Structure 1
Amino acid sequence: MTTNAHDWFTAAVEALAEPQGQRVWSIIVSFLGDMAQDDGAGISSAALTRVITPLGIKPEAIRVALHRLRKDGWTDSKRRGRGSVHFLTPHGRVQSAQVTPRIYDPTACTTAEWHMLIAAPPSGLELLDALSEGAPDGVIRVNRHTGLAPGPAPAPMSDLLIANARIEHVPTWLQEELFPAPLRQSCASLDAALAPHGTPPALDPLRRACLRTLLVHRWRRIVLRHPRLPVQFHPTDWTGESCRTKVFELLEQLPQPSLSELETAEPLPMTLDIPPPPDAAH
């Protein structure tokens, strides 16, 4: 590892760190979803610690976060030698698989065909609520009684008025409701953080894993917090598509290391020293 590569890695980690501090359980979920989602895939405590301590996370915070994830049914562990191996449970794999296509889709939404669903209480609202809580990119609520969904109108459903729709204009109030200010600020922050770094130098597997985890974590926390919508729905200050381009350009240059490479990697020094938020591990 050359001095230039080490400096580039350190600068990138510092730039990509969460401005509000790291939520350790969420970072672990991002790592497992990116590199250990397959059935039977797992990582030892020692290797996981090597991946995320350079991000400014203390080993004790990792232990607390793993306890929380086991309690919530996301991960499990088994003894191997003197240590433990951690892996996603079937529930955790299902949850990760549901959002993986959205997280790793490098293309912008270009949906042109839409349909509208209008409900009246009480049974129609219950049905609309159920549809809205289904697939991540299913029904988008415009207000309490109205939903918008991609594709042609489905078969008739009791208690819902259903109509094909062509989007002619999206008002500012709806754009800002779909993409609220804190989300726009988070996206702009990541977009700015990615701008100055350019092509990464040759990095060893552990440093690639550190950066991939941090990058996927930041992007995941943005892309899963808004519906997938074409440009006419975007506020004027939404930087999502610029950010998407930068995220996938960098991911392409950080090949995913194997878990076996991470198990045998030498530890890195802690790169960051950022105090976590009060509930970071919990």
Structure 2
Amino acid sequence: MRVTEILSDIQARLAVRAPAMIVTIYGDIVVPRGGVLWMGTLVEICARLGISETLVRTAVSRLVAAGQLVGERDGRRSYYGLAAGAQTEFAAAARLLYGPQSSASGFLIHHAPGVDDETVRRAGLGRMGPDLYLRADHPENAPIPGLTFRAEVVKEVALLSDYAATLWNLQSFADGYRTVIDLFSPLAELLKQGADLPPADAISARLLLVQAYRAVLLRDPRLPDEALPKDWPGHAARRLFSALYREISPLADDYIGAHFEGRDGRLPTRTDEVLTRLRSLEPEAVI
């Protein structure tokens, strides 16, 4: 199977939607290069992923209405950048995707009356009872209103994974990670064998990779290893994501610098933030 066939298969199986892919494009390509992209370039990127110009324009309008993008015009050209209110959200997602991996140092218990379901989902909270939640203790955790306690398991640690499975749908996260592995392992293997990857296809491959992995990672509560089932596929998915992202990025970044336009002309091929991301994805970059 050739690279183009593998990418077509990945694209079909992911059923890429315009709003989610545009968020991925901004997070992966645009934000680390100044944050503004010409609509013509956005249409070009999405066309290669099977998304029509009509769907792109509709999705952009909705993202503007939702406060994630802001637009400006220069003559007949339209440019869109990340809205100020969305910067914190995008930065948090970028730290998880591209930053050094941190291990959870135990758990936190939150007594948080009135917390809404969206906060529960975004914060990776496990509901222990009325107004009571368990969460993995990560340094980048966003604060939760209410009382917070540190928790540790003092005996019967072997029972922890079974208990965690009652608070979180770990099977859905495991299935998501296995899908990432199943989709992208053939591409990684083909590139390892020396297959040619056209630069424009490198862009599509990287965006599809980020889209698929991001969809699972941002829902994953990232529990301590002792709370996870044996052979947790999240670790293998992370290794595959990091290795494949580093492998295809030189071609993808060169193509970006040669073809993609922002408010002030061509986007830079690489920036300090782009290079920092690549360094953080190296195998030894763990904290």
Q: Normalising by the residue count of structure 1, what TM-score does the alignment of the two structures yield?
A: 0.72
Whole-Å Cα distance in 2 between the matches of residues 78 and 179 of structure 1? 42
1:165-218 deviation per Cα after TM superposition (whole angstroms, max 9, x unaligned): 137231425236424443332221111112222253454543222221111111
Q: Residues 69 and 172 from structure 1, CA distance in 2 versus in 1: closer, same or farther, beyond 3 angstroms?
A: same
User: Structure 1's 117 and 186: CA in aligned 2 closer, same or farther, altered over 3 A?
Assistant: closer
Q: Name 1:274's counterpart in structure 2.
A: none
Percent identity for Structure 1 against Structure 2 = 19
* Correspondence for 2:13: 19
Question: Which residue of structure 1 aligns with residue 128 of structure 2?
Answer: 143
The separation in 2 between residues aligned to 1:72 and 1:217, in whole angstroms, is 20
SS in 1 for 2:109: strand
Partner amino acid, structure 1, of 2:153: R
Residue 224 of structure 1: how far off its partner (Å): 0.2
Displacement of 1:101: 0.8
Partner of 1:216: 210
Give 1:245's aligned residue. Answer: 239
- Separation (CA, whole Å) in 2 of partners of 1:257 and 1:241: 26
Task: Give the whole-Å Cα distance in 2 for the aligned partners of 1:134 and 1:251.
Answer: 30
2:200 counterpart of 1:206: yes
Aligned partner of residue 162 in structure 1, secondary structure: strand
Does the 8 Å CA contact 1:106/1:245 hold for their aligned counterparts? no
* Residue of structure 1 equivalent to 2:259: 262
> Residue in 1 aligned with 2:274?
none
Give the one of 177, 183, 204 matched to 1:193.
183
Does the CA contact (< 8 Å) of 1:140 and 1:148 recur in 2? yes
Name which of structure 1's ranges 51-60 and 140-149 shifts more when overlaid on structure 2. 140-149
Matching residue's letter, 1:150: D
- Contact kept in structure 2, 1:16 and 1:190, CA below 8 Å: no
1:110 paired with 2:95, answer no
Q: Which has the larger radius of gyration?
A: 1
Question: Relative to 1, partners in 2 of residues 1:101 and 1:118: Cα closer, same or farther, differing over 3 Å?
Answer: closer
Deviates more, 1:21-30 or 1:201-210: 201-210
CA shift, 1:81, in A, is 4.4
**8 A Cα contact 2:209 2:241, kept in partner:** yes
Tell me how far apart the structure 2 counterparts of residues 232 and 18 of structure 1 sit (CA, whole Å): 36
Q: CA offsets per residue over residues 87-140 of structure 1, 9 Å max, x none?
A: 211123222012111112464x533x4254364xxxx635xx49x949966x74
Distance 2:59 2:214 in 1: 18
Partner of 2:83: 89
- The residue correspondences of 1:167-182 to structure 2 (distance < 5 A) are 168-169=157-158, 170-175=160-165, 177-182=167-172
Q: Is the 8 A contact 1:18 1:218 kept in 2?
A: no
Partner of 1:228: 222
CA contact (8 A) 2:103 2:138 kept: no
Secondary structure at 2:206's aligned position in 1? helix
2: distance between equivalents of 1:219 and 1:20? 11
| Bigger relative contact order (CA 8 A; separation at least 6) | 1
Change (3 A) 1:45 1:232: same
Give the length in aligned residue pairs. Answer: 244
Query: What do the CA deviations read for 1:146-183 (whole angstroms, capped 9, x no partner)?
Result: 4244279xxxxx98583541372314252364244433
State whether residues 71 and 79 of structure 2, in contact with CA within 8 Å, keep that contact through their aligned partners in structure 1. yes
Matches within 5 A, 1:3-152: 7-8=2-3, 10-17=4-11, 19=13, 21-38=15-32, 40-105=34-99, 107=101, 109-111=102-104, 113-117=105-109, 119=111, 125-126=113-114, 129=115, 133=119, 140-144=125-129, 145-150=132-137
The match for 2:152 is: 165
Looking at structure 2, the residues matched to 176 and 215 of structure 1 have their Cα atoms a distance apart, in angstroms, of: 30
TM-score (norm 2): 0.71
CA distance in 2, matches of 1:110, 1:178: 18
Which of 149, 170, 173 is the matching residue for 1:183?
Answer: 173
